[in-house]
Structure 1
Amino acid sequence: MALAVLSAVTLLARRADAHTPLCACYDNGDGTILCEGGFSDGATAAGVRLAVLDRSGNVLIEGAMNEQSEFVFAKPSGAFTVLFDGGAGHQVRLSGTDIH
């Protein structure tokens, strides 16, 4: 019985790890930022919420990834953070200072 429970827990842990959120953002050099998202198991990020937050956590820009799992937004003038929000346990935060 204990072996069956351990096997089930191990299988669930592996399954959870197989769906890691991925997000990368790039400065287009024209005043816009492009973010691309997805999941480690190959799942699309189409429709996934993306928010741009100021240093206090206030939402500056909010939207969803398009059919190509991309989101383009105007680069804020101050400090900002990008939040890729694929749901509980599936979030990625990127500091604006790390976007080049």
Structure 2
Amino acid sequence: MRKMTAKIIIMAGLIVLSASAAFAHSPLCSCFDNGDGTVLCEGGFSDGSTASGVRMYVKNESEVVITKGVMNESSEFEFNKPEGAYTVTFDGGEGHSIEIDGADIIE
């Protein structure tokens, strides 16, 4: 599954790169429900830069941060799936953030 995910991230990066040079450093992040009570997010940037060290936040429906951390050396962030509605934020800095609705994260 991780190989397929890496291919998807690479393909998405190539599409973004071909769309416009103005977006040469766009953030990319995908999250997947592992089916075991955990969620795995993988990230990077469209220019091929790693997301290692990028801050990650998981917020509940009241916008309260319930989990936070950073992408590891493999540009991955894994967390325990919270109960109820939640969002995941990939915080790559100004203009480089992505918010993913927990309802869009599928197994």
Code of the aligned partner of 2:79: F
Whole-angstrom CA distance in 2 between matches of 1:38 and 1:50: 13
Report percent identity of matched pairs: 61
TM-score, structure 2 normalization: 0.79
Whole-angstrom CA distance in 1 between matches of 2:38 and 2:49: 26
Aligned residues: 87
RMSD (Å) for aligned C-alpha atoms: 1.1
Q: Indicate the structure (1 or 2) with the bigger Cα radius of gyration.
A: 1
Matched, 1:76 2:70: no
**Secondary structure, aligned partner of 1:61:** strand
Tell me which stretches of 4 or more aligned residues in structure 1 moved more than 2 Å: none
TM-score, structure 1 normalization: 0.84
Match of 1:51 among 49, 57, 72: 57
Structure 1 unaligned spans of 5+: 1-12
Matches within 5 A, 1:3-82: 14=21, 16-82=22-88
Q: CA deviation at 1:55?
A: 1.1
Whole-angstrom CA distance in 2 between matches of 1:79 and 1:59: 12
Q: CA deviation at 1:56?
A: 1.6
Code of the aligned partner of 1:82: V
Code of the aligned partner of 1:43: S
Structure 2 unaligned spans of 5+: 1-19
Q: CA deviation at 1:97?
A: 0.2
